[in-house]
């Protein structure tokens, strides 16, 4: 396998499971050394072990991405441990289906803090480190199809993911002068552990909104994420790439 990212050091948040875990494996497959960051410390350690088995370096780091000081500490850890920082996959996220009328401020803010504010923290502290180090790095953010269309019961998630798309554009514009690139992915309905909590009827209803009527496997998103970190994707800047099996193209 071509080692396009050999010598690169990339932080992956939400790296213990789902898209994050698969992204760690895909990035490691391209030669990148990783910091596997997650609130689930044991899960992060397990993924770091999987990554090291692929012949690269990896360290786990427990983080609550909704806390600015913890994301700053995460970035500092990566630089102190590996001597540099080449990229960051701002992937960690949460969601909870709840109507707007039922949604109390605490529920609204929980999703906003994890899904939206964490992306700002990653861009802010990660870019500061890259500029200080003179690194022309790459950020990839996890948005969603729900950053472009509304969904019932997802008022806070819609708001957060729309913001991620906007921050991707704005971040790319502001960081371009430093040679830092910012892109995002917008996954459709992904076969993750969270999806396993739904019954077959609910799963089928979501899958039916894809062109192939199948849920998307997380490794399909991870392969796009890994590509976005490579030089081959250098012309993708400020854009959000839909990995949605046609959902956005045919939704309306």
Q: What is the CATH number of the domain that holds 59?
A: 3.40.50.720
Judge contact between 183 and 87, C-beta under 8 A.
no
- Domain total in the chain: 1
* pLDDT (0 to 100) of residue 244: 96
pLDDT for residue 100 is more than 50: yes
* pLDDT (0 to 100) of residue 115: 97
Which domain range does residue 183 map to? 9-243
Q: Is residue 3 part of a domain?
A: no
**What are 144-192's pLDDT values in tens digits?**
999 999 999 999 999 999 999 999 999 999 999 999 999 999 999 999 8
Bridge partners of residue 240, in order along the sequence: 184
Question: Lowest-confidence range among 71-75, 195-199, 244-248?
Answer: 195-199
pLDDT for residue 130 is more than 80: yes
Question: 10 Å Cβ neighbour count for 6?
Answer: 11
Question: Lowest-confidence range among 110-119, 196-205, 213-222, 242-251?
Answer: 196-205
DSSP reduced 3-state for 36: strand
Written as six digits, the tokens of 147 are 């950053």
Q: Is residue 249 part of a domain?
A: no
* pLDDT (0 to 100) of residue 1: 52
Bridge partners of residue 89, in order along the sequence: 12, 140
* pLDDT (0 to 100) of residue 32: 98
Q: Is residue 236 part of a domain?
A: yes
- Per-residue pLDDT, averaged over 232-239, amounts to 98
Residues above pLDDT 70, as percent of the chain? 99
Bridge partners of residue 10, in order along the sequence: 34, 87
Phi-psi region of 18 (alpha: psi -120 to 50; beta: other; left: phi over 0): left
* pLDDT (0 to 100) of residue 252: 47
Report how far apart, in Å, the C-alpha atoms of 168 and of each of 35, 41, 139 are. Answer: 22, 28, 9
Q: Is residue 119 part of a domain?
A: yes
Residue 125 among the catalytic residues? no
- Per-residue pLDDT, averaged over 61-90, amounts to 98
């Amino acid at each position: 396998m071509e080692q396009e990212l050999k010598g690169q050091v990339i932080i992956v948040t939400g790296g213990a499971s789902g898209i994050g875990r698969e992204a760690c494996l895909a990035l490691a497959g391209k030669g990148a050394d990783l910091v596997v960051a997650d609130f689930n410390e044991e899960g992060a350690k397990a993924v770091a072990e999987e990554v090291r088995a692929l012949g690269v370096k990896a360290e786990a780091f427990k983080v609550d991405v909704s806390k600015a000081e913890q994301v700053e500490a995460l970035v500092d850890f990566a630089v102190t441990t590996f001597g540099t920082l080449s990229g960051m996959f701002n992937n960690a996220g949460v969601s909870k289906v709840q109507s707007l009328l039922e949604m109390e401020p605490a529920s609204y803010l929980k999703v906003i803090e994890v899904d939206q504010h964490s992306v700002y923290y990653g861009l802010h502290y990660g870019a500061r480190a890259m500029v200080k180090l003179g690194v022309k790095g790459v950020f990839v953010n996890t948005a969603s199809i729900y950053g472009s269309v509304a969904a019932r019961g997802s008022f806070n998630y819609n708001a957060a993911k729309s913001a991620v798309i906007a921050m991707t554009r704005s971040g790319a514009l502001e960081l371009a002068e430093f040679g830092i690139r910012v892109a995002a992915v917008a996954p459709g309905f992904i076969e993750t552990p969270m999806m396993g909590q739904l019954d077959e009827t609910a799963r089928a209803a979501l899958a039916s909104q894809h062109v192939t009527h199948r849920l998307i496997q997380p490794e399909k998103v991870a392969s796009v994420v890994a590509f976005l970190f490579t030089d081959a994707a250098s012309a993708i800047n400020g854009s959000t790439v839909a990995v949605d099996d046609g959902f956005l193209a045919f939704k309306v």
